[in-house]
Amino acid sequence: MRIGDLMATSGVKFGTSGARGRVEDMSDLVCYAYARGFLRYLLEGGTLAAGAEVGLAGDYRASTPRILGACAKAVTDSGCRPRHLGHIPTPALTAHGIAHGWPTLMVTGSHIPDDRNGIKFNLPSGEILKEDEAGIRAQSIALPDRLFDADGGFIDPRHGALPPPEPSALDAYVARYLEFFPHDWLAGQRIGLYEHSSVAREALFRVLSGLGAEVERLGFSASFLPVDTEAIRPEDVALARDWAATGGFDALVSTDGDGDRPLIADEHGTWLRGDLAGVLCAQALGAAGVVTPISSNTVVERCGWFAQVMRTRIGSPYVIAGMQALQARGLAPVVGYEANGGFLTASDIERQGRRLPALPTRDAVIVAVTLIGSARASQRPLSALAESLPARFTESDRLKDFPSELSGERLAAFQTGDADADRAALAAVFAAECGPVSALDRTDGLRMTLANGDILHLRPSGNAPELRVYSEADSRARARALNQRCLAILERWRDGSE
Protein backbone atom coordinates (compact mmCIF):
# COMPACT_ATOMS: atom_id res chain seq x y z
CA MET A 1 0.00 0.00 0.00
CA ARG A 2 1.45 3.35 -1.09
CA ILE A 3 0.79 6.15 1.41
CA GLY A 4 0.23 8.73 -1.32
CA ASP A 5 -2.51 6.56 -2.83
CA LEU A 6 -4.15 6.13 0.58
CA MET A 7 -4.20 9.90 1.03
CA ALA A 8 -6.02 10.22 -2.27
CA THR A 9 -8.63 7.53 -1.57
CA SER A 10 -9.25 7.49 2.19
CA GLY A 11 -10.55 11.03 2.65
CA VAL A 12 -7.80 11.61 5.26
CA LYS A 13 -5.42 14.17 3.80
CA PHE A 14 -2.33 16.02 4.89
CA GLY A 15 -2.79 19.43 6.50
CA THR A 16 -0.40 21.36 8.70
CA SER A 17 2.22 18.92 10.07
CA GLY A 18 0.14 15.79 9.57
CA ALA A 19 -3.05 14.05 8.53
CA ARG A 20 -6.63 15.09 9.26
CA GLY A 21 -10.03 13.81 8.30
CA ARG A 22 -13.45 12.72 9.44
CA VAL A 23 -13.41 10.23 12.29
CA GLU A 24 -15.46 7.79 10.21
CA ASP A 25 -12.68 7.83 7.59
CA MET A 26 -9.86 7.49 10.15
CA SER A 27 -10.21 3.73 10.52
CA ASP A 28 -7.69 1.67 12.44
CA LEU A 29 -6.23 0.60 9.10
CA VAL A 30 -5.80 4.17 7.81
CA CYS A 31 -4.22 5.44 11.04
CA TYR A 32 -1.98 2.37 11.33
CA ALA A 33 -0.85 2.79 7.71
CA TYR A 34 -0.05 6.49 8.11
CA ALA A 35 1.95 5.84 11.26
CA ARG A 36 3.81 2.94 9.61
CA GLY A 37 4.57 5.15 6.59
CA PHE A 38 5.96 7.90 8.83
CA LEU A 39 8.13 5.47 10.79
CA ARG A 40 9.34 3.71 7.63
CA TYR A 41 10.40 7.10 6.26
CA LEU A 42 12.45 7.72 9.42
CA LEU A 43 13.93 4.21 9.46
CA GLU A 44 14.98 4.42 5.82
CA GLY A 45 16.51 7.85 6.33
CA GLY A 46 18.47 6.78 9.40
CA THR A 47 16.61 9.18 11.71
CA LEU A 48 15.16 6.23 13.63
CA ALA A 49 16.76 2.94 14.57
CA ALA A 50 15.07 -0.37 15.22
CA GLY A 51 14.19 -0.73 18.89
CA ALA A 52 14.06 3.03 19.46
CA GLU A 53 11.34 4.77 21.44
CA VAL A 54 8.47 6.74 19.91
CA GLY A 55 6.34 9.14 21.95
CA LEU A 56 2.54 9.15 21.70
CA ALA A 57 -0.03 11.55 23.15
CA GLY A 58 -3.47 12.91 22.35
CA ASP A 59 -6.23 15.39 23.08
CA TYR A 60 -9.63 14.86 24.72
CA ARG A 61 -11.66 13.95 21.63
CA ALA A 62 -13.79 10.83 21.95
CA SER A 63 -11.96 9.17 19.03
CA THR A 64 -8.44 9.90 20.26
CA PRO A 65 -7.83 6.75 22.40
CA ARG A 66 -8.76 4.45 19.51
CA ILE A 67 -6.49 6.29 17.07
CA LEU A 68 -3.66 6.28 19.61
CA GLY A 69 -4.06 2.52 19.86
CA ALA A 70 -3.67 2.14 16.10
CA CYS A 71 -0.53 4.29 16.21
CA ALA A 72 0.91 2.28 19.10
CA LYS A 73 0.40 -0.96 17.14
CA ALA A 74 2.16 0.63 14.15
CA VAL A 75 5.11 1.57 16.37
CA THR A 76 5.39 -1.97 17.73
CA ASP A 77 5.11 -3.54 14.27
CA SER A 78 7.85 -1.19 13.05
CA GLY A 79 10.21 -2.73 15.58
CA CYS A 80 10.11 0.23 17.96
CA ARG A 81 8.79 0.88 21.46
CA PRO A 82 5.72 3.10 22.02
CA ARG A 83 5.82 5.47 24.99
CA HIS A 84 2.31 6.63 25.90
CA LEU A 85 2.60 10.12 27.41
CA GLY A 86 -1.11 10.66 28.02
CA HIS A 87 -3.38 13.62 27.38
CA ILE A 88 -0.91 16.50 27.12
CA PRO A 89 -0.45 19.61 24.94
CA THR A 90 1.12 19.18 21.53
CA PRO A 91 4.12 21.39 22.46
CA ALA A 92 4.69 19.31 25.60
CA LEU A 93 4.96 16.17 23.49
CA THR A 94 7.18 17.85 20.89
CA ALA A 95 9.49 19.30 23.55
CA HIS A 96 9.81 15.89 25.21
CA GLY A 97 10.65 14.30 21.88
CA ILE A 98 13.32 16.91 21.14
CA ALA A 99 14.85 16.50 24.61
CA HIS A 100 15.05 12.71 24.28
CA GLY A 101 15.72 12.41 20.55
CA TRP A 102 12.39 10.65 19.92
CA PRO A 103 10.00 11.02 17.03
CA THR A 104 6.49 11.65 18.32
CA LEU A 105 2.89 11.35 17.14
CA MET A 106 0.15 13.60 18.52
CA VAL A 107 -3.45 12.54 17.93
CA THR A 108 -5.47 15.74 17.68
CA GLY A 109 -7.75 17.71 15.40
CA SER A 110 -6.78 20.95 17.13
CA HIS A 111 -9.77 23.33 16.97
CA ILE A 112 -11.96 21.51 14.44
CA PRO A 113 -15.16 19.70 15.52
CA ASP A 114 -15.23 16.40 17.39
CA ASP A 115 -16.35 14.46 14.31
CA ARG A 116 -12.87 15.05 12.88
CA ASN A 117 -9.42 14.17 14.16
CA GLY A 118 -5.83 13.98 13.02
CA ILE A 119 -2.29 12.78 13.60
CA LYS A 120 0.60 15.25 13.85
CA PHE A 121 4.02 13.80 13.07
CA ASN A 122 7.20 15.12 14.69
CA LEU A 123 10.81 14.30 13.92
CA PRO A 124 13.27 13.98 16.83
CA SER A 125 14.18 17.60 15.96
CA GLY A 126 10.59 18.85 15.84
CA GLU A 127 7.76 19.18 13.32
CA ILE A 128 7.95 17.58 9.91
CA LEU A 129 8.43 20.03 7.07
CA LYS A 130 7.02 19.91 3.56
CA GLU A 131 9.91 17.86 2.22
CA ASP A 132 9.26 15.29 4.94
CA GLU A 133 5.61 15.15 3.94
CA ALA A 134 6.70 14.28 0.40
CA GLY A 135 8.95 11.54 1.75
CA ILE A 136 6.10 10.04 3.77
CA ARG A 137 3.78 10.11 0.76
CA ALA A 138 6.31 8.10 -1.23
CA GLN A 139 6.44 5.23 1.27
CA SER A 140 4.89 1.84 0.56
CA ILE A 141 3.97 -0.55 3.35
CA ALA A 142 2.70 -4.11 3.58
CA LEU A 143 -0.29 -4.65 5.87
CA PRO A 144 -0.11 -7.75 8.08
CA ASP A 145 -2.55 -10.53 7.27
CA ARG A 146 -5.67 -10.93 9.42
CA LEU A 147 -5.10 -7.68 11.31
CA PHE A 148 -8.09 -5.69 9.98
CA ASP A 149 -11.69 -6.51 9.17
CA ALA A 150 -13.53 -5.43 6.03
CA ASP A 151 -14.32 -2.02 7.53
CA GLY A 152 -10.69 -1.31 8.48
CA GLY A 153 -11.09 -2.03 12.20
CA PHE A 154 -8.82 -4.30 14.21
CA ILE A 155 -10.16 -7.86 14.18
CA ASP A 156 -8.83 -8.34 17.70
CA PRO A 157 -9.47 -5.24 19.90
CA ARG A 158 -6.37 -6.08 21.92
CA HIS A 159 -4.26 -4.90 18.97
CA GLY A 160 -5.32 -1.35 19.84
CA ALA A 161 -4.31 -1.56 23.50
CA LEU A 162 -2.17 1.27 24.84
CA PRO A 163 0.62 1.00 27.40
CA PRO A 164 -0.04 2.87 30.68
CA PRO A 165 0.36 6.66 30.39
CA GLU A 166 3.52 8.24 31.79
CA PRO A 167 3.62 11.68 33.49
CA SER A 168 7.20 12.56 32.49
CA ALA A 169 6.42 14.75 29.46
CA LEU A 170 3.82 16.86 31.25
CA ASP A 171 6.08 17.27 34.29
CA ALA A 172 8.99 18.39 32.08
CA TYR A 173 6.78 20.86 30.20
CA VAL A 174 5.60 22.48 33.43
CA ALA A 175 9.18 22.60 34.74
CA ARG A 176 10.29 24.29 31.52
CA TYR A 177 8.43 27.47 32.56
CA LEU A 178 8.82 27.26 36.32
CA GLU A 179 12.59 27.07 35.90
CA PHE A 180 12.86 29.93 33.39
CA PHE A 181 10.60 32.60 34.85
CA PRO A 182 11.20 34.06 38.35
CA HIS A 183 9.21 32.24 41.04
CA ASP A 184 7.12 35.38 41.70
CA TRP A 185 6.63 36.33 38.03
CA LEU A 186 2.83 36.27 38.40
CA ALA A 187 2.55 37.05 42.12
CA GLY A 188 -0.57 39.03 42.96
CA GLN A 189 -2.25 38.29 39.64
CA ARG A 190 -5.75 36.84 39.66
CA ILE A 191 -6.22 34.71 36.54
CA GLY A 192 -9.32 32.95 35.22
CA LEU A 193 -8.43 29.66 33.52
CA TYR A 194 -11.03 28.77 30.89
CA GLU A 195 -10.54 25.01 30.84
CA HIS A 196 -13.29 23.77 28.44
CA SER A 197 -11.86 20.62 26.79
CA SER A 198 -8.33 21.94 26.33
CA VAL A 199 -5.66 19.32 26.87
CA ALA A 200 -3.48 22.14 28.24
CA ARG A 201 -5.74 22.92 31.21
CA GLU A 202 -3.70 20.98 33.77
CA ALA A 203 -0.38 22.32 32.50
CA LEU A 204 -1.67 25.88 32.56
CA PHE A 205 -2.99 25.56 36.08
CA ARG A 206 0.30 24.17 37.36
CA VAL A 207 2.42 26.81 35.58
CA LEU A 208 0.26 29.83 36.45
CA SER A 209 -0.16 28.88 40.08
CA GLY A 210 3.47 27.76 40.32
CA LEU A 211 4.57 31.27 39.31
CA GLY A 212 2.52 32.87 42.06
CA ALA A 213 -0.86 33.60 40.46
CA GLU A 214 -4.21 33.01 42.09
CA VAL A 215 -5.99 30.83 39.53
CA GLU A 216 -9.72 30.18 39.31
CA ARG A 217 -10.72 27.29 37.08
CA LEU A 218 -13.70 28.09 34.82
CA GLY A 219 -15.85 26.44 32.17
CA PHE A 220 -14.72 22.81 32.43
CA SER A 221 -16.23 20.53 29.77
CA ALA A 222 -16.16 16.74 29.80
CA SER A 223 -17.10 16.67 26.10
CA PHE A 224 -15.00 18.21 23.35
CA LEU A 225 -15.62 21.86 22.38
CA PRO A 226 -14.14 23.21 19.11
CA VAL A 227 -12.57 26.41 20.45
CA ASP A 228 -10.84 28.27 17.62
CA THR A 229 -8.44 31.06 18.59
CA GLU A 230 -8.77 32.73 15.16
CA ALA A 231 -12.55 32.59 14.80
CA ILE A 232 -13.64 32.94 18.42
CA ARG A 233 -17.13 31.61 19.07
CA PRO A 234 -19.76 34.16 20.15
CA GLU A 235 -20.41 32.11 23.28
CA ASP A 236 -16.74 32.39 24.26
CA VAL A 237 -16.85 36.15 23.74
CA ALA A 238 -19.87 36.34 26.06
CA LEU A 239 -18.29 34.05 28.66
CA ALA A 240 -15.16 36.19 28.85
CA ARG A 241 -17.16 39.39 29.29
CA ASP A 242 -19.28 37.84 32.04
CA TRP A 243 -16.31 36.38 33.91
CA ALA A 244 -14.41 39.68 33.73
CA ALA A 245 -17.42 41.61 34.99
CA THR A 246 -17.94 39.41 38.04
CA GLY A 247 -14.58 37.82 38.83
CA GLY A 248 -12.13 40.71 39.23
CA PHE A 249 -9.52 39.02 37.03
CA ASP A 250 -6.29 40.53 35.74
CA ALA A 251 -6.48 38.17 32.76
CA LEU A 252 -8.30 35.16 31.35
CA VAL A 253 -6.32 32.33 29.78
CA SER A 254 -7.21 29.38 27.58
CA THR A 255 -6.04 27.48 24.48
CA ASP A 256 -7.46 25.54 21.58
CA GLY A 257 -8.04 21.79 21.91
CA ASP A 258 -4.44 20.59 21.73
CA GLY A 259 -2.85 23.48 23.61
CA ASP A 260 -0.62 24.97 20.93
CA ARG A 261 -2.63 28.17 20.33
CA PRO A 262 -3.27 30.65 23.17
CA LEU A 263 -6.43 32.52 23.99
CA ILE A 264 -5.80 35.45 26.34
CA ALA A 265 -8.26 38.10 27.49
CA ASP A 266 -7.44 41.33 29.31
CA GLU A 267 -9.01 42.58 32.53
CA HIS A 268 -12.12 43.65 30.60
CA GLY A 269 -12.69 40.21 29.12
CA THR A 270 -11.56 41.23 25.63
CA TRP A 271 -9.75 38.41 23.83
CA LEU A 272 -6.44 39.57 22.33
CA ARG A 273 -5.83 38.85 18.67
CA GLY A 274 -3.25 36.10 18.30
CA ASP A 275 -1.02 38.08 15.97
CA LEU A 276 -0.96 41.09 18.32
CA ALA A 277 -0.13 38.80 21.23
CA GLY A 278 2.67 37.33 19.09
CA VAL A 279 4.24 40.75 18.48
CA LEU A 280 4.09 41.61 22.18
CA CYS A 281 5.55 38.25 23.19
CA ALA A 282 8.38 38.55 20.65
CA GLN A 283 9.27 42.00 21.93
CA ALA A 284 9.17 40.92 25.58
CA LEU A 285 11.51 38.00 24.83
CA GLY A 286 14.00 40.27 23.04
CA ALA A 287 13.64 38.79 19.55
CA ALA A 288 15.86 40.15 16.78
CA GLY A 289 14.26 38.22 13.94
CA VAL A 290 10.55 37.42 13.60
CA VAL A 291 8.84 35.13 11.11
CA THR A 292 5.09 35.21 10.60
CA PRO A 293 2.64 34.25 7.84
CA ILE A 294 1.23 36.67 5.31
CA SER A 295 -2.11 36.70 7.16
CA SER A 296 -0.72 38.32 10.31
CA ASN A 297 -1.33 41.96 11.22
CA THR A 298 1.10 44.46 9.62
CA VAL A 299 1.73 46.00 13.04
CA VAL A 300 4.79 43.71 13.27
CA GLU A 301 6.49 45.88 10.62
CA ARG A 302 4.95 49.16 11.77
CA CYS A 303 6.15 48.88 15.38
CA GLY A 304 9.83 48.92 14.33
CA TRP A 305 10.91 46.67 17.20
CA PHE A 306 12.69 43.95 15.23
CA ALA A 307 15.83 43.87 13.09
CA GLN A 308 14.15 41.72 10.47
CA VAL A 309 10.63 40.44 9.76
CA MET A 310 10.01 37.65 7.27
CA ARG A 311 6.60 36.74 5.82
CA THR A 312 5.68 33.20 4.77
CA ARG A 313 2.80 31.07 3.63
CA ILE A 314 0.33 30.06 6.32
CA GLY A 315 1.30 27.01 8.37
CA SER A 316 3.92 26.23 10.97
CA PRO A 317 6.19 24.27 8.57
CA TYR A 318 6.64 27.45 6.53
CA VAL A 319 7.27 29.53 9.65
CA ILE A 320 9.86 27.00 10.84
CA ALA A 321 11.63 27.08 7.47
CA GLY A 322 11.63 30.88 7.66
CA MET A 323 13.12 30.84 11.15
CA GLN A 324 15.88 28.53 9.93
CA ALA A 325 16.61 30.98 7.11
CA LEU A 326 16.93 33.92 9.53
CA GLN A 327 19.20 31.90 11.80
CA ALA A 328 21.39 31.10 8.80
CA ARG A 329 21.82 34.86 8.33
CA GLY A 330 23.21 35.14 11.86
CA LEU A 331 20.18 36.63 13.62
CA ALA A 332 19.44 35.65 17.22
CA PRO A 333 17.19 35.20 18.96
CA VAL A 334 14.74 34.21 16.23
CA VAL A 335 11.08 33.53 16.95
CA GLY A 336 7.90 33.02 14.96
CA TYR A 337 4.20 33.29 15.51
CA GLU A 338 0.97 32.76 13.61
CA ALA A 339 -2.26 34.72 13.40
CA ASN A 340 -3.84 32.05 15.60
CA GLY A 341 -1.41 33.02 18.37
CA GLY A 342 0.80 29.93 18.32
CA PHE A 343 4.35 31.00 19.21
CA LEU A 344 7.58 29.27 18.11
CA THR A 345 11.17 29.75 19.26
CA ALA A 346 14.07 28.80 17.00
CA SER A 347 16.70 30.05 19.48
CA ASP A 348 17.26 29.51 23.15
CA ILE A 349 16.04 32.50 25.16
CA GLU A 350 18.35 33.61 27.96
CA ARG A 351 17.47 35.91 30.84
CA GLN A 352 19.23 36.55 34.17
CA GLY A 353 21.20 33.32 33.98
CA ARG A 354 18.16 31.23 33.07
CA ARG A 355 17.69 29.51 29.72
CA LEU A 356 14.49 28.59 27.90
CA PRO A 357 15.40 25.93 25.31
CA ALA A 358 14.23 26.50 21.75
CA LEU A 359 10.88 24.94 20.90
CA PRO A 360 10.28 25.24 17.14
CA THR A 361 6.61 24.32 17.27
CA ARG A 362 3.47 26.28 18.16
CA ASP A 363 3.11 26.86 21.89
CA ALA A 364 0.44 28.60 23.95
CA VAL A 365 1.79 28.68 27.50
CA ILE A 366 4.81 30.86 26.62
CA VAL A 367 2.52 33.63 25.33
CA ALA A 368 0.18 33.71 28.32
CA VAL A 369 2.94 33.64 30.92
CA THR A 370 5.13 36.20 29.12
CA LEU A 371 2.37 38.75 28.52
CA ILE A 372 0.72 38.61 31.94
CA GLY A 373 4.09 38.78 33.68
CA SER A 374 5.25 41.64 31.46
CA ALA A 375 2.13 43.63 32.28
CA ARG A 376 2.69 43.02 35.99
CA ALA A 377 6.37 44.02 35.74
CA SER A 378 5.45 47.29 34.02
CA GLN A 379 2.71 47.93 36.59
CA ARG A 380 0.14 48.25 33.82
CA PRO A 381 -3.01 46.27 33.04
CA LEU A 382 -2.85 43.76 30.23
CA SER A 383 -5.02 45.99 28.03
CA ALA A 384 -2.31 48.67 28.13
CA LEU A 385 0.20 46.34 26.45
CA ALA A 386 -2.01 46.00 23.38
CA GLU A 387 -2.69 49.73 23.37
CA SER A 388 1.06 50.40 23.15
CA LEU A 389 1.06 49.02 19.60
CA PRO A 390 0.34 51.16 16.53
CA ALA A 391 -3.40 51.30 15.83
CA ARG A 392 -3.94 48.50 13.36
CA PHE A 393 -6.79 46.05 13.76
CA THR A 394 -7.48 42.64 12.29
CA GLU A 395 -10.72 40.70 12.11
CA SER A 396 -11.00 37.10 10.97
CA ASP A 397 -13.85 34.72 10.42
CA ARG A 398 -14.69 31.72 8.30
CA LEU A 399 -17.52 30.46 6.16
CA LYS A 400 -18.17 26.82 7.03
CA ASP A 401 -19.38 24.15 4.61
CA PHE A 402 -17.52 25.85 1.76
CA PRO A 403 -16.14 23.02 -0.42
CA SER A 404 -12.44 23.26 -1.26
CA GLU A 405 -13.24 22.72 -4.93
CA LEU A 406 -15.55 25.73 -4.94
CA SER A 407 -12.93 27.88 -3.17
CA GLY A 408 -10.34 26.92 -5.75
CA GLU A 409 -12.69 27.61 -8.65
CA ARG A 410 -13.74 31.02 -7.34
CA LEU A 411 -10.24 32.25 -6.46
CA ALA A 412 -8.79 30.97 -9.74
CA ALA A 413 -10.95 33.51 -11.58
CA PHE A 414 -8.75 36.25 -10.06
CA GLN A 415 -5.43 34.56 -10.77
CA THR A 416 -5.19 34.61 -14.55
CA GLY A 417 -1.67 36.02 -14.72
CA ASP A 418 -2.91 39.33 -16.12
CA ALA A 419 -2.63 41.78 -13.20
CA ASP A 420 -4.89 44.42 -14.73
CA ALA A 421 -7.55 41.89 -15.63
CA ASP A 422 -7.39 40.37 -12.16
CA ARG A 423 -7.84 43.74 -10.48
CA ALA A 424 -10.75 44.53 -12.76
CA ALA A 425 -12.41 41.19 -11.95
CA LEU A 426 -11.94 41.80 -8.24
CA ALA A 427 -13.34 45.30 -8.54
CA ALA A 428 -16.47 43.92 -10.19
CA VAL A 429 -17.07 41.69 -7.16
CA PHE A 430 -15.70 43.61 -4.19
CA ALA A 431 -15.35 47.32 -5.01
CA ALA A 432 -18.95 48.33 -4.36
CA GLU A 433 -18.95 46.95 -0.81
CA CYS A 434 -15.26 46.88 0.14
CA GLY A 435 -13.47 49.44 -2.02
CA PRO A 436 -11.14 49.39 -5.06
CA VAL A 437 -8.09 47.10 -5.07
CA SER A 438 -4.61 48.63 -5.48
CA ALA A 439 -2.32 45.60 -4.96
CA LEU A 440 -2.45 41.80 -4.80
CA ASP A 441 -0.34 39.27 -2.89
CA ARG A 442 -0.65 35.56 -3.71
CA THR A 443 1.81 34.21 -1.17
CA ASP A 444 -1.04 32.14 0.26
CA GLY A 445 -4.59 32.56 -0.96
CA LEU A 446 -5.54 35.98 -2.26
CA ARG A 447 -4.54 39.05 -0.21
CA MET A 448 -5.85 42.39 -1.49
CA THR A 449 -4.59 45.79 -0.37
CA LEU A 450 -7.36 48.29 -0.97
CA ALA A 451 -6.82 51.86 -2.15
CA ASN A 452 -7.42 53.24 1.36
CA GLY A 453 -4.79 50.92 2.90
CA ASP A 454 -7.24 48.35 4.27
CA ILE A 455 -6.45 44.69 3.64
CA LEU A 456 -8.73 41.82 2.68
CA HIS A 457 -7.37 38.28 2.53
CA LEU A 458 -9.22 35.17 1.31
CA ARG A 459 -7.80 31.73 1.96
CA PRO A 460 -9.30 28.24 1.84
CA SER A 461 -8.63 26.23 5.00
CA GLY A 462 -6.03 23.52 4.58
CA ASN A 463 -7.78 21.05 6.89
CA ALA A 464 -11.53 21.70 6.70
CA PRO A 465 -14.16 22.69 4.10
CA GLU A 466 -13.99 26.36 5.09
CA LEU A 467 -13.09 29.64 3.44
CA ARG A 468 -11.31 32.00 5.85
CA VAL A 469 -11.51 35.78 5.62
CA TYR A 470 -8.96 38.12 7.21
CA SER A 471 -9.49 41.89 7.18
CA GLU A 472 -7.23 44.67 8.45
CA ALA A 473 -7.84 48.38 8.96
CA ASP A 474 -6.90 51.34 11.16
CA SER A 475 -9.99 50.94 13.34
CA ARG A 476 -11.61 47.89 14.89
CA ALA A 477 -15.04 48.89 13.61
CA ARG A 478 -13.81 49.24 10.03
CA ALA A 479 -11.95 45.90 10.12
CA ARG A 480 -15.09 44.19 11.43
CA ALA A 481 -17.36 45.85 8.89
CA LEU A 482 -15.00 44.91 6.04
CA ASN A 483 -14.97 41.29 7.23
CA GLN A 484 -18.75 41.13 7.42
CA ARG A 485 -19.21 42.65 3.97
CA CYS A 486 -16.79 40.13 2.50
CA LEU A 487 -18.51 37.21 4.25
CA ALA A 488 -21.83 38.30 2.76
CA ILE A 489 -20.28 38.14 -0.72
CA LEU A 490 -18.80 34.70 -0.04
CA GLU A 491 -22.15 33.40 1.23
CA ARG A 492 -23.62 34.27 -2.14
CA TRP A 493 -20.78 32.36 -3.79
CA ARG A 494 -21.45 29.30 -1.64
CA ASP A 495 -25.21 29.43 -2.11
CA GLY A 496 -24.94 29.97 -5.85
CA SER A 497 -26.81 33.26 -5.81
CA GLU A 498 -23.91 35.18 -7.37
For residue 463, name the pLDDT band (cuts at 50, 70, 90).
low
Summarize the confidence of residues 355-371 as an average pLDDT: 97
Residue 461 in this model has a pLDDT that exceeds 80: no
Catalytic residue positions?
110
Residue with the larger pLDDT of the pair 442 and 372: 372
pLDDT of residue 405: 86
pLDDT of residue 356: 97
CA distance 240 to 227: 13
Residue 446 in this model has a pLDDT that exceeds 70: yes
pLDDT of residue 16: 65
- Rounded to two decimals, what is the model's pTM? 0.91
pLDDT digits (tens, 9 = 90+) for 41-50: 999 999 999 9
pLDDT of residue 494: 87
For residue 395, name the pLDDT band (cuts at 50, 70, 90).
confident
Comparing CA positions, the residue from 283, 262, 239, 245 lying closest to residue 385 is: 283
pLDDT of residue 274: 93
Residue 430 in this model has a pLDDT that exceeds 90: no
pLDDT, the chain, mean: 94
pLDDT of residue 9: 92
Summarize the confidence of residues 407-429 as an average pLDDT: 87
Summarize the confidence of residues 177-195 as an average pLDDT: 98
Q: Cβ neighbours of residue 291 under 8 Å, at least 6 residues apart?
A: 309, 310, 311, 312, 319, 322, 323, 326, 334, 335, 336
Residue 15 in this model has a pLDDT that exceeds 80: no
Residue with the larger pLDDT of the pair 74 and 434: 74
pLDDT digits (tens, 9 = 90+) for 126-159: 999 989 999 999 999 999 999 999 999 999 999 9
pLDDT digits (tens, 9 = 90+) for 206-215: 999 999 999 9
CA distance 412 to 288: 37
The tally of CA atoms less than 13 A away on the side-chain side of residue 386 is: 23
pLDDT of residue 231: 80
pLDDT of residue 404: 84
pLDDT of residue 301: 95
Judge contact between 253 and 277, C-beta under 8 A: no
Judge contact between 441 and 429, C-beta under 8 A: no
For residue 190, name the pLDDT band (cuts at 50, 70, 90).
very high
